Chains A and B, each alone.
Chain A
Amino acid sequence: KNQVEQSPQSLIILEGKNCTLQCNYTVSPFSNLRWYKQDTGRGPVSLTIMTFSENTKSNGRYTATLDADTKQSSLHITASQLSDSASYICVVSLQTGANNLFFGTGTRLTVIP
């Protein structure tokens, strides 16, 4: 069964600290993995996209890693800011099919001053 699991479910960190969010998946055949940021009441916004051959991708203070062998990904946020408070969703794509996106339940990050 194609599934995407994320941990932790929620996380609270102090402003300026780093954090790492985890994503494990069983989706196959794998095409790519995306991390999205979703602010409360808004649509998801793409942060990174990684294909099978990529094992790291950065977007500013966000760095995503991918281990396609163990089917794990992480999103590392450095020097967190209050505006980083949001849900971070891991989405894995199948190679085929119109409905080829599998969404994780997200990690709710709260950055406090």
Chain B
Amino acid sequence: EPEVTQTPSHQVTQMGQEVILRCVPISNHLYFYWYRQILGQKVEFLVSFYNNEISEKSEIFDDQFSVERPDGSNFTLKIRSTKLEDSAMYFCASILDRGSTDTQYFGPGTRLTVL
């Protein structure tokens, strides 16, 4: 069974520091996503990425956030200056194609704690 992997599983950082969350999507997938889930709340869309560029982003994805696919396998989410409210689980997901029945595979998540 193919899987999306994410590292680290838990990241603790000081407010104002930069963090990079890493993801390795499933190898033949074409669309990549970052979501976040604040404790006890629903999963929220951050950004989608296709063909080496951002397809769509939410209001949450402001100038402090950026994504990159540096080497054809990794997909990273960077938060430049973390805030307390950035503490959440961050999930990477990938999908082969945005067909009607394609399954979106989620990674196990990175728990980000901002102190």
Q: Report A's interface with B, CB cutoff 8 A.
A: 31-32, 34, 36, 41-46, 49, 51, 89, 93, 97-101, 103-106
Contact = CB atoms under 8 A, between A and B. Distances in A.
A99 B47 CA distance: 8
Contacts of A103: 42-44
A45 B43 contact: no
Nearest to A32: B100
B104 interface: yes
A46 B31 CA distance: 17
B101 to A, nearest CB: 5
Given A98-B50, A98-B55, A103-B43, A45 B106 contact: yes
A43 B108 contact: yes
Which of under 10, 10 to 19, 20 to 34, or 35 or more describes the interface residues of B? 20 to 34
5 contacts: A42-B109, A46-B104, A93-B100, A99-B55, A103-B43
Interface of B: 4, 31, 41-45, 48, 50, 55-58, 89, 91, 93, 98, 100-101, 103-109, 111
A77 to B, nearest CB: 20
Nearest to A103: B43
Nearest to B105: A46
A7 B101 CA distance: 25
Contacts of A49: 101, 103
Contact of B107 (A34, A36, A43, A97): A43
Interface centre among B58, B93, B98, by most A CB within 10 Å?
B98
Contact of A89 (B43, B58, B98, B108): B43
Given A99-B56, A101-B45, A43 B106 contact: yes
